[in-house]
A and B are shown apart, each in its own frame.
Chain A
Amino acid sequence: MHKTTLLTMLLLAGLFQAMPAYADDTEAVFGFYCAQCHGTEGKGDGPNVTKDFPVSPRNFTNAEEMNKLSDADLKNVIMDGGPAASKSPMMPPWSKTLSEAQVDGLIKHLRKICACKGKQG
Chain B
Amino acid sequence: MKPLLLTFLACGLAVLAAKPGLADVGTGKTTFEANKCQDCHSVEKAGAAADIHAHMDTKGPELWYAGSKFQKDWLAKWLVEPTKIRFMLHGMPSMKIGDHAKLSADDAAQVTDYLMSLTSDLVKPGTIKPKKNPKGRLIFTKKMPCSGCHQFPTKKKYDGGRTGPSLVGAGDRLNPDWIYAYLANIDEFKPVRPMPNFVGILSDKDMINVARYVASFKSKK
Contact = CB atoms under 8 A, between A and B. Distances in A.
Partners in one complex: yes
Interface of A: 25, 28-29, 31-33, 35-37, 40, 46-48, 50, 52-53, 81, 89-90, 92-97
B91 interface: yes
Nearest to A83: B143
A37 B160 CA distance: 12
Contact of A28 (B53, B94, B148): B53
B196 A36 contact: no
B161 A36 contact: yes
Pairs A-B, 7 closest by C-beta atoms = A48-B161, A96-B197, A36-B163, A47-B93, A92-B196, A97-B197, A97-B196
A48 B127 CA distance: 31
Given A32-B90, A89-B144, A90-B145, A47 B162 contact: yes
A46 B56 CA distance: 18
Interface residues of B, number: 29
A102 B143 CA distance: 25
A48 B199 contact: no
Contacts of B59: none
Interface string B191-205: 000101111110000
B198 A96 contact: yes
B198 A37 contact: no
A47 B145 CA distance: 16
Interface in B80-96: 87-88, 90-94
Contact of B201 (A29, A47, A93): A93
B79 to A, nearest CB: 27
Contact of A53 (B56, B93, B161, B197): B161
A66 B198 CA distance: 27
B135 to A, nearest CB: 15
A89 B145 contact: yes
Given A37-B148, A93-B201, A31 B92 contact: yes
Contacts of B148: 37, 48, 53, 90, 92
8 contacts: A25-B53, A28-B52, A32-B194, A47-B93, A47-B162, A89-B144, A89-B145, A96-B200
Contacts of A35: 92
Contacts of B160: 50, 52
Contacts of B199: 96
Nearest to B142: A89
Contacts of A89: 142-145
B24 interface: no
B37 interface: no
Contacts of B56: 32
Contacts of A90: 145, 148
Given A50-B162, A89-B145, A29 B52 contact: yes
B149 interface: yes
B91 A36 contact: yes
Contacts of B145: 89-90, 92
